[in-house]
Amino acid sequence: MHDVQAAGGAPLSQGSDGSAAPAGRSRLVLLLGVAAAVLLADALTKALVVRELSERDPVTLLGGVLTLRLVRNPGAAFGFAQGLTIAFSVVAV
């Protein structure tokens, strides 16, 4: 059986149990899950980089095609507005 949807994406038909699936809630759960996974991956990779590359010469990989080195950014995006990172974070929230 195929569900028919209105132009806005709202289902016109109901599921086999007579209720419409809460698509908004499942999308929110998916969004929050992806956001949490990205945040976790970001934190883990940053911790790994700091642990492995602090006080160490750059690591050359793939015959010099790729070089890994630890560089700290004291500002916001691309070093812009050094010292205002907290202000940008507050505005973003």
> pTM for the whole thing?
0.54
pLDDT for residue 23: 78
Tokens for 62, please give them: 């793939």
Task: Encode pLDDT of 34-78 as tens digits.
Answer: 999 999 999 999 999 999 888 888 889 999 899 999 988 776 667
**What is the spatial distance between Cα 19 and Cα 16, in angstroms, rounded to a whole number?**
7
What is the distance between the alpha carbons of residues 44 and 63, in angstroms, rounded to a whole number? 26
* Mean pLDDT, residues 11-16: 55
31, amino acid identity: L
DSSP H helices, 1-93, are 23-53, 85-92
Q: How far apart are CA 34 and CA 40, in angstroms?
A: 10
Ranges of each domain in the chain: 20-56, 58-93
